[in-house]
Amino acid sequence: MEENLNKEVKRRRTFAIISHPDAGKTTITEHLLLYSGAIREAGTVKAKGKKSNKFAKSDWMEIEKQRGISVTSSVMQVDYDGYQINIVDTPGHEDFSEDTYRTLMAVDACVMVVDTGKGIEPQTKKLFEVVSKRGIPIFTFMNKLDRDGREPLDLVSELEEVLGIDAYAMNWPMGMGKTLLGLYNLYNQRLEIRHSQDEDELIDLADPMLLQGQYDFTKSSIYSQAIEEADLLHEAGNQFDREKVNCGKLTPVFFGSALTGFGVQTFLDAFVDLAPSPAAVETVTGEVIDPVQKNLTGFIFKIQANMNPAHRDRIAFVRIISGKFEKGMNVTLQRTGKTLRMAHTTQFLADSREEIQDAYAGDIIGLYDTGNLQIGDTIYAGNQEVQFPDLPQFTPELFMKVSPKNVMKQKSFHKGMQQLVQEGAVQLYRSYHTEEYIIGAVGALQFEVFQYRLKNEYNAEVEMENMGSKIARWIDPAELDPKMSSSRNLLVRDRFDQPVFLFENMFAENWFKDKHPEVHLKQLM
Ligand code: G4P
């Protein structure tokens, strides 16, 4: 039994893909599903939102479509080459929200997809910063090599400069776009020559024919330039260091094209090989919970409420930290000390939601909830109490003033507001002087969901007044003088009564810093 637990945990890879919209996250995911046999055709994942006879990713999407709001951060679980892969989706575009960030707290590694035509884009940078603070491995896939993009050397140095991480090229492109010859794969010590969409030739670097220059391509300037660049990079650049990869200080960089599938399998093989299996996690008392310990432990990183308005169900997403989950088992909800029977759970597959029988450390399961669970809750089996640290709060960037439309409905407005804030749907502030309600979010979708849910679940309609984007900075109450507030830096308090300045823009923040150099401005994660 224990040996089995060991084996199951070791073969798990739980990760998220971070990228700016349109960099190719969906296309890469699709290839992973294709290679693993979970889907049969490219284009399936994209079926979301399109009229298609192919099956949709999950039935949630149907529900979301009916609601007109897409809020799912789904989890896909597939078997790839003997590994159990859990991909946790990080919604982008208009779906971007605090949930996107919280999801990153539940993974053991990240794949960062960069469009070679564009380089590091804003959303990638934001997500990178959150992941980077966790010190987990980050793997980079430079995508769209089938198109003419920016110079590879330029892309790698931009990555290092903008993100402040060292990079190590695992493979190097030989040409790009129409002139794409293939990849010089340093990790596997071979060349991958692309002849056509269906035909790649693998040539070992020690192949005598290659060494003697008998292949035609060795005469091309594209080939010699690529070899020169890669050699230069490896002599002058960073050395590969597994330790540094493990703590997120060095990112292995792979080039490829998700659309044509070129370089994707190589990347995935290296990824499952190098990415870590579930790690041990420290509790609030400093105890270290080993993933292979027998007792089940886990924490809730996301609650998806009322996905089906007809059933009003809530699903709590649990990241299992240790042990084995078995359907119907009892656990303790640490916050209340109450016993929780895990009878109705779900796991997430590429094509459907299914009731699960068992799951292991590293997996993510969905627990049907009737309103007892909160984001950040710890659950544990056995008699020994376990409490994992709270999830961080993230600095919101967008703000709205809210007030109830109907003053007669104050009570439901306050109740709804309190519950939704507690659930982490939005963050709540009160202005110092006028006591107005201000809500903050990292993505505009959060406001939409908030408004929708207040109306539908609490029967409270709200007026919302857009305040636009602001830079929120926390300050020590001892350093505060309410006179510091002005129209360009509004003073508010958060729900824990801590003072916060909402700066109009960076200039306002800098102006404030110059004027009050003694005041320390802090941001959340
Ligand atoms: P995302 O999930 O990160 O938002 O990106 P997604 O995979 O949806 O890809 C965004 C667009 O970029 C899609 O085109 C997709 O086909 C294209 N794309 C992804 N990978 C590559 C690549 O390696 N090379 C090239 N040339 N294009 C790539 P679209 O026209 O917006 O969508 P579709 O109509 O093709 O589905």
Q: Report yes or no on 9 lying in a domain.
A: no
pLDDT of residue 456: 83
Angle between helices 152-163 and 221-236 (to 10 degrees): 30
> Residue 161 has which token pair?
């400069």
Q: Are residues 100 and 212 in the same domain?
A: yes
- The per-residue DSSP string of 11-39 comes to TEEEEEEEE-TTSSHHHHHHHHHHHHTS-
Q: What is the DSSP letter of 260?
A: T
What total number of domains does the chain contain?
3
**Of all atoms in ligand 1, which is nearest to the CA of residue 147?**
26
9-19 confidence digits (pLDDT tens): 999 999 999 99
Q: Are residues 204 and 121 in the same domain?
A: yes
Q: Are residues 406 and 356 in the same domain?
A: no
The yes-or-no verdict on residue 50 having pLDDT over 50 is no
Q: Are residues 310 and 342 in the same domain?
A: yes
**Of all atoms in ligand 1, which is nearest to the CA of residue 93?**
4
Distance CA 207, CA 155 (A): 30
Question: What b/e readout covers 311-336, taking b as 16+ CB neighbours within 10 angstroms?
Answer: eebbbbbbbbbbbbbeeebebbbbee
Q: Are residues 173 and 255 in the same domain?
A: yes
pLDDT of residue 90: 83
pLDDT of residue 352: 45
pLDDT of residue 187: 84
> In whole angstroms, how large is the CA radius of gyration of the chain?
25
Q: Are residues 123 and 218 in the same domain?
A: yes
Residues lining ligand 1, Cβ inside 6 A = 19, 21-27, 46, 143-144, 146-147, 257-259
Q: Report yes or no on 162 lying in a domain.
A: yes
Non-local CB neighbours of 283 within 8 Å, separated by 6+ positions: 289, 386, 387, 388, 389
Mean of the pLDDT values across residues 264-287? 94
Q: For the domain that residue 126 is a member of, what is the CATH number? A: 3.40.50.300
Distance CA 364, CA 319 (A): 5
The yes-or-no verdict on residue 399 having pLDDT over 90 is yes
Q: What is the 229 CA–ligand 1 centroid distance (Å)?
A: 28
Boundary residue ending a domain (380, 415, 446): 380
Q: Residue with the nearest Cα to atom 10 of ligand 1?
A: 22
The percent of residues above 90 in pLDDT, for the chain, comes to 61
Q: β-strand 12-19 against 109-115: which pairing, if any?
A: parallel
Non-local CB neighbours of 181 within 8 Å, separated by 6+ positions: 174, 175, 193, 194, 217, 220, 222, 223, 226
Q: Report yes or no on 81 lying in a domain.
A: no
Q: What is the 62 CA–ligand 1 centroid distance (Å)?
A: 23
Q: What is the 272 CA–ligand 1 centroid distance (Å)?
A: 23
**Of all atoms in ligand 1, which is nearest to the CA of residue 29?**
7
pLDDT of residue 17: 93
pLDDT band of 51, cuts 50, 70, 90 = very low
Mean of the pLDDT values across residues 339-368? 72
Mean of the pLDDT values across residues 193-197? 84
pLDDT band of 153, cuts 50, 70, 90 = very high
The yes-or-no verdict on residue 402 having pLDDT over 60 is yes
Q: Report yes or no on 4 lying in a domain.
A: no
Q: Residue with the nearest Cα to atom 25 of ligand 1?
A: 144
Q: β-strand 364-369 against 314-322: which pairing, if any?
A: antiparallel
Q: Report yes or no on 342 lying in a domain.
A: yes
Say which range, 99-103, 153-157, 165-169, has the weakest mean pLDDT.
Answer: 99-103
Residue 6 is inside which H or E element, if any? Answer: helix 2-10
Q: Are residues 327 and 197 in the same domain?
A: no
pLDDT of residue 351: 40
Range of the domain at 268: 17-70+91-274
**Of all atoms in ligand 1, which is nearest to the CA of residue 43?**
36
Non-local CB neighbours of 517 within 8 Å, separated by 6+ positions: none
Q: What is the 144 CA–ligand 1 centroid distance (Å)?
A: 9
pLDDT of residue 373: 87
Pocket test for ligand 1, best of 18, 19, 22, 197 (most atoms within 8 A of CB): 22
Distance CA 502, CA 485 (A): 9
Mean of the pLDDT values across residues 37-65? 42
Q: Residue with the nearest Cα to atom 30 of ligand 1?
A: 22
pLDDT of residue 63: 34
Q: Are residues 32 and 159 in the same domain?
A: yes
Mean of the pLDDT values across residues 479-493? 90
Q: Are residues 181 and 39 in the same domain?
A: yes
Stronger pLDDT, 351 or 511, i.e. the higher one: 511
103-128 confidence digits (pLDDT tens): 999 999 999 999 999 999 999 999 99
The yes-or-no verdict on residue 223 having pLDDT over 80 is yes
Q: Residue with the nearest Cα to atom 17 of ligand 1?
A: 24
Pocket test for ligand 1, best of 17, 27, 110 (most atoms within 8 A of CB): 27
Q: Report yes or no on 347 lying in a domain.
A: yes
pLDDT of residue 32: 83
CB 377 within 8 A of CB 333: yes
pLDDT band of 26, cuts 50, 70, 90 = confident
pLDDT of residue 251: 98
The yes-or-no verdict on residue 73 having pLDDT over 60 is no
Q: What is the 333 CA–ligand 1 centroid distance (Å)?
A: 42
pLDDT band of 236, cuts 50, 70, 90 = confident
Query: Which residue numbers belong to the known binding site for GTP?
Result: 19-26, 89-93, 143-146
The yes-or-no verdict on residue 314 having pLDDT over 60 is yes
> Residue 518 has which token pair?
């003694």
Q: For the domain that residue 508 is a member of, what is the CATH number? A: 3.30.70.3280
The yes-or-no verdict on residue 462 having pLDDT over 80 is yes
Q: Report yes or no on 84 lying in a domain.
A: no
> Residue 66 has which token pair?
């009916």
Mean of the pLDDT values across residues 41-67? 39
Which is nearest to 444 in space by CA: 394, 398, 504? 398
Q: Are residues 133 and 199 in the same domain?
A: yes
Boundary residue ending a domain (236, 257, 274): 274
Q: Are residues 409 and 437 in the same domain?
A: yes
The percent of residues above 70 in pLDDT, for the chain, comes to 88
Boundary residue ending a domain (274, 306, 333): 274
The pTM score is 0.87
How high is the mean pLDDT of the chain? Answer: 86
- The per-residue DSSP string of 91-117 comes to --GGG-SHHHHHHGGG-SEEEEEEETT
pLDDT of residue 361: 97
Mean of the pLDDT values across residues 318-337? 94
Q: Report yes or no on 424 lying in a domain.
A: yes
Mean of the pLDDT values across residues 450-473? 91
Which is nearest to 318 in space by CA: 267, 364, 374, 254? 364
Q: Are residues 264 and 290 in the same domain?
A: no
Say which range, 251-255, 350-354, 424-428, 451-455, has the weakest mean pLDDT.
Answer: 350-354
pLDDT of residue 235: 86
Say which range, 9-18, 296-305, 331-340, has the weakest mean pLDDT.
Answer: 296-305
